Structure 1
Amino acid sequence: MDTAPPAASSLSAGDRPEAAPPALQSTRFLYLYALAAAGGAVAYVPFLTMLLPVRVSSLAGEEAVSVLAYTAFAGATAASLANIAFGWLSDLTGDRRPWIVAGLVLSCLLLVSVRTAASVPVLIAFIVAWQVCLNMMLAPLAAWAGDLVPDRQKGLLGGLLSFAPALGALSGALVTLPAVASADARLGLVAAMVVAMVLPALVFGAPRPMPQLMIPRKPEKAVDTGGRAARTAVARMWLARLLVQIAEAMLFAYLLLWFRSIEPGYSDNDTATLFFVVLGLGVPLALLTGRWSDRADRPIAPLAAGAGIAAIGLLLMALAPSLTLAITGYVAFGLASTVFLALHSGQTLRVLTRPQTRGRDLGLFNLTNTVPSLIMPWFALALVPTFGFAALFLLLAGLAALACILLLSISRRA
């Protein structure tokens, strides 16, 4: 099995300058990597959205809502710091896979052990430790793609990464079927699925070495115009993702309540079905869009279009007088944001051009996934009680439109 060359080491004999590096990564590795990335989503989506709330309710009773909030805050903080730390450590060691394996084993063991937590403080301690170990796997796994996937395939990579949220949602539906497993056994089932999805890339992936992606680059001087342009592109990519993620997280939390404010009989199953359909339709759309961006050499254009369409969808939702138009607006937003987030993950590797700090820098980008959960409750409390959901969606439409403008301002070659 080929290994990713160390970020700061010289090229091996097999990678002599006179031997041209392969132009493209193998499709086998790309597909197995996408499966591993989906395994990362399966590791936390069903647990955080369904299994953990049930566990908290059984321990905390009437205090479940506040306990769940504290648990989520502690877990998100631990995840943010751990993602940066383990990404940085994998940069220093020059080999991602030992960290991925260690994080996989430890996080699965802790996940299964959650059932032994007999009190709220112990449960929160388990969650914090689990988040640390999970990000020991996730951070190097994300950086591994940057080590091995060339720019010409980053659109395809982003499209393949769209499977992750869809499979995460599907795994939650499967493990919670009454006939599948008991409450405790569900944790073991999730851990088994994660192992089955992550290991194949490590054991059978056999990626082609890409030494041209591992050449260390010296920091640009402050007077270097190209260096300033690159740093500006990174900052705009980060902020654009944060703005779209705020909108996406807000709808994930409040969509059912909004639908019921329009149609009181709208059920939670209706909402769950709509979520899954939108995620499912987003997968082929992201794949097609990603392939187009590779062939046309237009990496940023689909991101700007996705943010712009998401803004239009949110505007429709703000003005929706009926459930039909409300669902139409959400479908437009959901498809656009699904494609945006998937392709953004691939193209982020394009703008983070320093392999010696790739893992750490991706950890900083990961903050765009955790910070929204700290921001969105304040938006909702400030706007919904007084002005209704329409004002909230108008604000979110403005954020998505700003993300579109930021991306349009990035050079085509960024």
Structure 2
Amino acid sequence: MRIIRPAPGERRWHLTTVDPTPTSLPTALAEPTARVHRTWILLLFGANLGLWMAFFTPIQVLLPLQIERIAPAGKEAALAWVMAAGAFAAIIANPLAGALSDRTCLRVGGRELGRRHAWTFGGTVLAAIGLLLLSRQQTLLGVALCWTAVQIFLNAMLASLTAAVPDRVPVAQRAAVSGWVGIPQSLGLVVGAVLVTALFTGTVSGYTAVAVALLVLGLPFALRTADDPLPRHHRPPLSPRTLVAQMWISPRRHPDFAWAWGTRFLVQLGNAFGTLYLLYFLTDGVRHPDPESGLLILILLYTAGMMTTAVISGRVSDRSGRRKAFVIWSGVEMAVAALILAIWPTFPAAIVAAVLLGGGYGVYLAVDAALITEVLPAAASRAKDLGVINIANAAPQVLGPLLSAPIVVHLGGYPTLYVLTAVITLVGSALVLKIRSVR
């Protein structure tokens, strides 16, 4: 309440109600305008590098080897079920952690803390512990349970890191920054593969090395960068019913967001088809004499192709203001790579495909990530909305193993799998044409 002095000609004082809510948005919800600096990008790069090492090194190397020792006769189906269990947990954990992050208001010693870094810190530490427990498992059930827990904690970390770009980076810089942030998705696998195939060759030591790398790379971003606090009067209501209801984003009200989700889902489904059984493809399809070394070579070439295109295409996209043409081109390039694997199951052909696939995926990661930040429904729910987008990343990890395992075993083997990969990737990239608000 506030006492108002009488205006000229009036004789009485009166009371009025003053809305305590400020008319302008707090920094945590405002659209960023200041460009981020190299140190910030480097720390975010490192955190993502640790994250994707922890995601992909087990998927591509450690889990297949661990499961092959436990169940050699049914390794394809066993790997599929373990991967599907972890990915299903990720589908739930990522948007839920994002929604909770959007509502986080912390105060320590009278000082307000930001809403993101607590999730980055907690997810990093708990995922590292989960990896250590996973390394000791000797049964399929134990592997499945521990990998599911690791997925939950990594997705809590991922939800907060993904929100960092729309939280802090202006639109004119987003594709370039997204290019740098996208590189660790492949570089993490390279570094992880080197660790577990050349330096720490045992399963236990391999998981331990990945866990330590996750801590060393992930924690500095949470401890050394700014994190804007969310004023309590701006916090959205919190209840189980509200959380569940907000997971649905109406395609009718937000059609561009829906088409962006569909594009991401199909491209990532194609990527899951094309990469899940790569080690087994080299073993059983190409019959490479040393499939683990061959896999490392392909990963290195894939990453080189990706690093070459990610930042360059992001900068060109930022300067031109165009996004959709880059996404379509990336889909075409990845589809060509998949067709090469389908037609010529030889190691030289796989080398060519790895370079093409990496180059196409680098363009896709940089530009599509920036495009998605431009179609988010609301600033107050960035992490939750990006969590819904991340369902399009995680759901293919559920469907990919369940669909590709019978294709490999019963429906034509690897040629059929890679033709289907090409078709799905092309259709997914073409859906970007439906987005109206982004060029």
Q: Which residue of 2 aligns with 1:243?
A: 266
Distance 1:103 1:326 in 2: 36
Root-mean-square deviation (CA), in Å? 3.7
Alignment of 1:337-352 (within 5 A): 337-352=361-376
Distance 1:77 1:365 in 2: 14
User: CA deviation digits over 1:229-248, x for unaligned, max 9?
Assistant: 97222122111122221221
Q: Which residue of 1 aligns with 2:110?
A: none
User: CA deviation digits over 1:45-96, x for unaligned, max 9?
Assistant: 2233333344445555656555443322222111211111111100112511
Alignment of 1:92-107 (within 5 A): 92-93=103-104, 95-107=115-127
Distance 1:391 1:183 in 2: 32
SS state at 2:35 partner: coil
Q: Which residue of 2 aligns with 1:401?
A: 426
C-alpha change, 1:260 and 1:175, in structure 2 (3 Å) is closer
Shift of 1:289: 0.4
Alignment of 1:145-224 (within 5 A): 145-177=165-197, 179-180=199-200, 183-206=203-226
Asked whether the equivalents of residues 176 and 366 of structure 2 are also in contact (C-alpha less than 8 Å), the reply is no
SS state at 1:176 partner: helix
Q: Which runs of 5+ in 2 are unaligned?
A: 1-19, 106-114, 237-249
The residue type equivalent to 1:141 in the other structure is L
How many pairs are equivalent? 392
Shift of 1:31: 2.1
User: CA deviation digits over 1:92-121, x for unaligned, max 9?
Assistant: 125111111111122212222334546544
Identical residues among aligned pairs (%): 27
Alignment of 1:216-235 (within 5 A): 231-235=254-258
C-alpha change, 1:323 and 1:68, in structure 2 (3 Å) is closer
The residue type equivalent to 1:413 in the other structure is V
Q: Which residue of 2 aligns with 1:224?
A: none
Asked whether the equivalents of residues 262 and 428 of structure 2 are also in contact (C-alpha less than 8 Å), the reply is yes
Asked whether the equivalents of residues 234 and 352 of structure 1 are also in contact (C-alpha less than 8 Å), the reply is yes
Q: Which residue of 2 aligns with 1:3?
A: none
333, 338, 341: which one aligns with 1:309: 333
User: CA deviation digits over 1:259-316, x for unaligned, max 9?
Assistant: 6787545641224312221212211311100011111111332112211222344445
SS state at 2:254 partner: helix
C-alpha change, 1:282 and 1:189, in structure 2 (3 Å) is same
The residue type equivalent to 2:83 in the other structure is A
Alignment of 1:239-388 (within 5 A): 239-255=262-278, 264-265=287-288, 267-268=290-291, 269-320=293-344, 324=348, 327-376=351-400, 377-378=402-403, 381-382=406-407, 385-387=410-412
Q: Which residue of 2 aligns with 1:220?
A: none
Q: Which residue of 1 aligns with 2:40?
A: 29
- Counterpart check, 1:410 vs 2:435: yes
User: CA deviation digits over 1:128-173, x for unaligned, max 9?
Assistant: 2222222222212211222111111111122102321233222322
Distance 1:45 1:138 in 2: 13
The residue type equivalent to 2:255 in the other structure is T
C-alpha change, 1:204 and 1:89, in structure 2 (3 Å) is same
- Please, what TM-score do these two structures have when normalized by structure 1? 0.80
C-alpha change, 1:317 and 1:69, in structure 2 (3 Å) is closer
Asked whether the equivalents of residues 244 and 307 of structure 1 are also in contact (C-alpha less than 8 Å), the reply is yes
Higher helix share: 1
C-alpha change, 1:71 and 1:381, in structure 2 (3 Å) is closer
